Amino acid sequence: MRHRSAPILLLCLSLVVAPSWSRTVEDSAGRRVEIPDKVERVYAAGPPASILVYVVAPDRLTGWPRAPRDYERPYLAAEYRDLPETGRLTGRGNSANLEVVLRSRPHLIIDFGSINDTYVSLADRVQAQTGIPYLLIDGRFDNTPTALRLVADILGVSARGEELASYAEGLFQELDEAMDGVPEESRPRVYMARGPDGQETGLKGSINTEIIERAGGVNVADPGDASVRRGIVRSSMEQVIAVDPDTIVTWDENFYRRVWDDPLWAGITAVRDGRVYFSPTAPFGWIDRPPSLNRLMGLKWLSGVFFPDRFAHDLRTETRRFYKLFYHVDLDDTDLERLIAWAQQRPAD
């Protein structure tokens, strides 16, 4: 019975949500997709897309791929903390099926992140099976202003998109001007430690670690071979020891707490010199987890960590401003200080 009823359910739900198409947009993969003139409900294919939609027009988001944890909730606008958990169509741990998607009654599906044949194939298949338009938006840092303007225009909030895009452009310009002429040998050699043992990282060029280069650092996880696929990899301790980073950044609290007393890491320059930095993760990670608009806050923080003499940011002021503009929340002093404590903690804390 399940196999017989599923197609009927899909058809019925498709009929409920199907609006009349009135315009065609081209997404970042070059796909021309017909969308409704008025998009009021958006299904986010994964966490990066949910942040994009929440930032641009939170009232259009049908749900969170993963429900916010208790410690994340104060950093989201109250009216959107309890949106349903919808699962994810893309990325690690994809958990949503098409019936779940259709029950959300979306007018549009958006994915935000890497663009390759795998994601294009998924988008085409889901769009064909559900009749719901599915857009792929390039999530690389350099495309951020374009992505914000495109999605804001699609959702009918162009002024909002311009405000957000201008923030991103201003930040990028500030970074570029301050780092102009700084040679590679004068930049920190950075390793991003992921997971409780710190031995998962992202290769240079990966969307998960491009924040290192954008903030002025050098990613030591560089295969030196242009043909190597850039993404998340496992590294051995021998490899970490060989590249010997002078700076480590992480968002894994277990790794951060244990690395100082772990004999395997004791000889790494970053550990010896106390240059291991822990990224805040509420409501989303500042350096990754996921790689979305949340990384703009991480750029403010990391640039100051890497080059305190070039970037004299007032972290409290910048954090308040960012959370108000992007996350729709006015941070009280307690919640703000909790974030700052995460960003500024040291091994003696």
pLDDT of residue 64: 97
pLDDT given for residue 15 in this prediction: 43
Question: Which of 2-6, 130-134, 325-329 shows the lowest mean pLDDT across its residues?
Answer: 2-6
If we measure between CA atoms, which residue out of 181, 192, 270 comes closest to residue 235?
Answer: 192
pLDDT in tens, 176-216: 999 999 999 999 999 999 999 999 999 999 999 999 999 99
Q: How confident is the model at residue 16 (pLDDT cuts 50, 70, 90)?
A: very low
Q: What is the band of 13 on the pLDDT scale with cuts at 50, 70, 90? A: very low
Topology annotation, domain 182-344: Rossmann fold (3.40.50)
What does the pLDDT read at residue 12?
Answer: 45
Band the pLDDT of 287: cuts 50, 70, 90.
Answer: very high
> So what's the pLDDT on residue 18?
52
Q: What is the pLDDT of residues 305-316, one digit of tens each?
A: 999 999 988 999
What fold does the segment set 2-172 form as a domain?
A: Rossmann fold (3.40.50)
- Residues constituting the chain: 349
- 227 against 2, higher pLDDT: 227
Q: Which range is least confidently modeled, 27-41, 96-110, 294-308?
A: 96-110
Q: What pLDDT, on a 0 to 100 scale, did the predictor assign at position 20?
A: 65
Q: What is the mean pLDDT of residues 32-36?
A: 97
Sequence ranges of the chain with CATH classification 3.40.50.1980: 2-172, 182-344
How much of the chain, in percent, has pLDDT values that exceed 70?
92
The per-residue pLDDT of the chain, averaged, comes to: 92
Q: What is the mean pLDDT of residues 224-234?
A: 84
Stretch among 11-15, 105-109, 162-166, 276-280 having the lowest mean pLDDT: 11-15
What is the pLDDT confidence band of residue 348, given thresholds at 50, 70 and 90? Answer: very low
Burial of 253 (0-12, 13-18, 19+ CB in 10 A): middle
Which residue has tokens 């990384």?
295
- List the single range of 73-77, 157-161, 163-167, 226-230 with lowest mean pLDDT: 226-230
Q: 47 or 20: which carries more pLDDT confidence?
A: 47
Mean pLDDT of the region 294-308: 97
Mean pLDDT of 114-133: 96
Please check whether residue 296 is in contact with residue 89, taking contact to mean a CB–CB distance below 8 angstroms: no
